[in-house]
Structures are given as C-alpha cells and as structure tokens.
C-alpha cells in the first residue's frame, strides 16, 4: 500500500480519483482549502499551492510516495484564457520538484486534450488523438500552460529518479460537475420542467464518466507507465446526441431546444486513442454513454 498525496481533492475529478485510490488500498492524503464531510481520506492538508514555502511544508508533512496533481485554475469558460495559468504552470513544476526532494517516487499530473492540435490536418478525418502521433500544438493559454508544464516535467524526470506521467483528460461528465457545463445544464433544466437551450451540437467529442476517469487516474498512479496517456472512452458522441439522450432518459424531449444557442467553431471530431490506457495501464472504461448519463441524471434528481 502506497501513500498518495492528491491535490484538487475536493474537485469534480478529485472525488472520483480518491474513491478509486482507496478502493485500490492506498492511504490517501487530500489537499483542500476546507475538508469536506463527504470525502473520506486518511488525512487532510491545507496549503496554498502557489506559495513555495507552503508547498515544501505540505510534502514534508504528508510523507507520500506517490502524488496525483489535479489542482489548477478551473473557473468555467474563464480558465481557457486565465492569466493564472502561468502561475499554475510554475507552481506545478515547483510542487513536483519539492515532492521529489521530500522523497516522492512517482507523480502524475492531469493535463488536457486541449494540448493537442485539433486542426483537421493534424488530427485527421478520424478525429483520433494519439499520444505518439498527433501533434500537441495548443491554441489556448490553458493548453499552452499545460503543454509547457508537461514538456518541462517529462524532460526533468529523465534527469532524475522521479517516475512521471501526464494524464490527458478528454471530456469528463458525471456527479459534482459544475452546473454551467453541458450535461448538468441540460439535466437540471429538464428536471425543473424548463426548456434546455443547446447549440446545434454538431461537434463530436469523447465524453467519459467521471468515475471511469478517476479509475483511470488511480490505475495510472499505480502503474510504471511514463509520458502522456489519454484518458477518454475511445468513442465519440455529438453534443446533440448527448443532449438528446439526456432528454430521452428524463422523458422531456419536448423541452429540448437544439440549435437555439449560437455555435462557435470548435473544430473537428476529437476522440481519444485509448491504446496506452487499455494495454499499458490496464484500464478500460466501465460506462457507455447511455449508462453514464443515466447515473448522472439520477444523481441530479436525488439532490
């Protein structure tokens, strides 16, 4: 059993990752501003991760051998261009370095599919993003900050004894997701008997249930796999299909308004190649889209 330090422990993905790590028998130490009552860990730590002295104290106090770093700027929509991305890139490099200095042996950082080049020439007509083939040329500040951090830590790890991997998350959905995002927005409106407004929804994305995402992160922490690993379902669904499935599950297709919101140019089909995740990490998603959305709808219904 390893001791795993988890930053961003109370976040949307963090909750599921902690549950998966505990299921694997790990001692989990969570980092949060305020310890929640509904997330069970061995110990909670409070620390400002943007403050180097606080980070040094955190990793010394935790005595963890492994770390899963999820904390980053996450304000809905704003995070794409948030200047704080630069601070989080610096802080992440400092955190991993301090963790190694304190005796840590393996670190996993969560990155994003936004690190890939989504252009048709780069990703191809299939829309399949592959870690070893598809160029990583982000177009947002968020993507650039994540990719720069990935590059630095991968290069740094080859010069040290630290085992390091980056999990490139695609499009998680599920319980505890921010209400403004697609799945909760449509779900909450329809459950309230209100019209759910959606764009034309033609863009195809790789939606993965957050529990599958958490299980993949826990498996990656447990593994010896290094470098970048996609965390997705390996299957693409259009935004319209997702909204229509939610409406059918709830039984309120009459309230769904596809095409009423303006659409932006969000690029072609973007789907994760899951070869590394399945064959090297040894983890395959448990939920298909229908089952995952049913689970999510029930969670919102029970609130």
Band of the pLDDT at 150, cuts 50, 70, 90?
Answer: very high
Average pLDDT over residues 21-34: 95
Q: What is the pLDDT of residue 267?
A: 63
**Chain segment 77-133, per-residue pLDDT in tens:** 789 999 999 999 999 999 999 999 999 999 999 999 999 999 888 898 889 999 999
Secondary structure in 3-state letters for the chain: CCEEEEECCCCHHHHHHHHHHHHCCCEEEEECCCCCCCCCCCEEECCCCCCHHHHHHHHHHHCCCEEEECCCCCCCCHHHCCCHHHHHHHHHHHHHHHHHHCCCCEEEEEEEHHHCCCCHHHHCCCCEECCCCCCCCCCCHHHHHHHHHHHHHHHHHHCCCCEEEEEEECEEECCCCCCCCHHHHHHHHHHCCCCEEECCCCCEECEEEHHHHHHHHHHHHHCCCCEEEEECCCCCEEHHHHHHHHHHHHCCHHHEEECCCCCCCCCCCEEECCHHHHHHHCCCCCCCHHHHHHHHHHHHHHC
Average pLDDT over residues 6-29: 97
Q: What is the pLDDT of residue 268?
A: 75
Among 139, 106, 107, 108, CA closest to 122: 139
Q: What is the pLDDT of residue 101?
A: 96
Please give the CATH superfamily to which domain 3-175+207-233+272-286 belongs: NAD(P)-binding Rossmann-like Domain (3.40.50.720)
Taking the C-alpha atoms of residue 102 and residue 104, their distance in angstroms, rounded to an integer, is: 6
Which single residue is written with the structure tokens 């670190």?
A: 107
**Chain segment 249-291, per-residue pLDDT in tens:** 999 999 999 999 987 666 679 999 999 999 999 999 999 999 9
pTM of this structure: 0.96
- Six-digit token pair at 239? 């935004």
> Domain locations in the chain?
3-175+207-233+272-286
- Six-digit token pair at 193? 């008997």
Average pLDDT over residues 128-147: 96
Which residues 6+ apart lie within 8 Å of 159 measured at CB? Answer: none
**Chain segment 169-199, per-residue pLDDT in tens:** 999 999 999 999 999 999 999 999 999 999 9
Percent of all residues in the chain with a pLDDT value above 90, rounded to a whole number: 90
Q: What is the pLDDT of residue 93?
A: 98
């Amino acid at each position: 059993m390893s001791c795993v330090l988890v930053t961003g422990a109370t976040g949307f993905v963090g909750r599921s990752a902690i549950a998966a790590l505990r299921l694997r028998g790990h001692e989990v130490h969570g980092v949060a501003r305020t310890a929640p009552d509904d997330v069970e860990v061995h110990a909670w730590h409070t620390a400002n991760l943007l403050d180097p002295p606080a980070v040094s104290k955190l990793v010394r106090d935790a005595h963890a051998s492994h770390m899963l770093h999820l904390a980053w700027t996450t304000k809905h929509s704003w995070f794409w261009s948030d200047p704080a991305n630069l601070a989080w890139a610096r802080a992440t490099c400092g955190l991993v370095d301090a963790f190694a200095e304190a005796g840590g042996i393996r670190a996993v950082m969560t990155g994003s599919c936004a690190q890939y080049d989504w252009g048709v020439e780069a990703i191809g007509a299939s829309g399949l993003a592959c870690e070893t083939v598809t160029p990583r040329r982000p177009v947002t500040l968020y993507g650039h900050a994540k990719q720069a951090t990935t590059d630095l830590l991968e290069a740094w790890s080859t010069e040290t004894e630290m085992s390091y991997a980056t999990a490139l998350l695609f499009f998680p959905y599920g319980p505890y997701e921010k209400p403004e995002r697609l799945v909760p927005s449509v779900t909450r409106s329809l459950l309230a008997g209100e019209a759910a407004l959606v764009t034309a929804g033609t863009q195809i994305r790789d939606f993965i249930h957050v529990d599958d995402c958490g299980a993949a992160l826990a498996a990656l922490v447990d593994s010896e796999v290094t470098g970048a690993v996609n965390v997705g379902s390996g299957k693409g669904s259009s935004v319209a299909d997702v909204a229509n499935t939610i409406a059918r599950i709830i039984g309120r297709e009459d309230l769904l308004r596809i095409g009423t919101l303006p659409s932006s140019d969000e690029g072609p089909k973007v789907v994760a190649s899951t070869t590394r995740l399945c064959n090297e990490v040894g983890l395959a998603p448990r939920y298909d889209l229908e089952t995952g959305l049913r689970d999510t709808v029930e969670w919102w219904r029970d609130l």
